[in-house]
Amino acid sequence: MYYSYSDKIFQKNPEIEKHNLLLTFTKIIFEEEEIKENDKTEENEAQNNLLQYKTIDEIFSKYLVEVVKDCNKEYFEFITKFVVLFRECINKIKYENSINNNNNGFGINDAEEFSVNNNADTVPDICNEFITDFMESHDYFGLDTMELIEIIQHLCNWLYENKYTTSKLSLVS
């Protein structure tokens, strides 16, 4: 996916090995393994660890670590594609908003992405733009739209339940 769409959505990450989401995901996996090895009360520790993640990249990485436990390889690949695309969409929208407002009030400049330094509180607010503007304009990157809606709901519910956002997503027919 990275190489197929690098000219469209990964312009700020010219090398996949330096992609912040990948680096953060790898770091969280190693941290979780250390916790499991060192602490036998991992359920209590896991609950305390949820709140330590502050940036979108950290939170999305934690989400991936959580969902991999409950799905098969093919579905995890789908979820990973969704998370990567949603992250890229968030960064694009926030960057464009900061340019349109002639300021860097979101902490965005040409060298950094919104998801690297900001929390996930506004993530549910971007869901409509993600589907209608970002995904639709790229022919959904070959992903099933109904399944995308389901996973968006799942992610936003997970964010809300784990107190990463105060917004609750609701579908309107």
For the chain, give the mean pLDDT: 82
Output the pLDDT for position 53: 83
Output the pLDDT for position 52: 79
In angstroms, the CA 60 to CA 81 distance is 12
Residue 7 lies in a domain: no
What are the pLDDT digits (tens) for 81-140? Answer: 999 999 999 999 998 888 877 655 444 455 688 999 999 999 999 999 999 999 998 888
Output the pLDDT for position 43: 56
Nearest to 82 by CA among 12, 128, 130, 117: 130
- Which residues are CB-contacts of 51 (< 8 A; sequence separation ≥ 6)? 162, 163
Number of domains in the chain: 1
Residue 5 lies in a domain: no
Output the pLDDT for position 48: 53
Which residue range(s) make up the domain with 103?
15-161
Output the pLDDT for position 71: 93
Residue 117 lies in a domain: yes
Residue 130 lies in a domain: yes
Residue 40 has pLDDT above 60, yes or no: no
Residue 173 lies in a domain: no
Place of tokens 């941290």: 31
pTM of the prediction? 0.81
- Which residues are CB-contacts of 12 (< 8 A; sequence separation ≥ 6)? 91, 113
The two three-digit tokens of residue 52, written as one number? 């330590």
What are the pLDDT digits (tens) for 49-90? Answer: 555 789 999 999 999 999 999 999 999 999 999 999 999 999
Output the pLDDT for position 158: 96
Residue 170 lies in a domain: no
Place of tokens 């409509």: 128
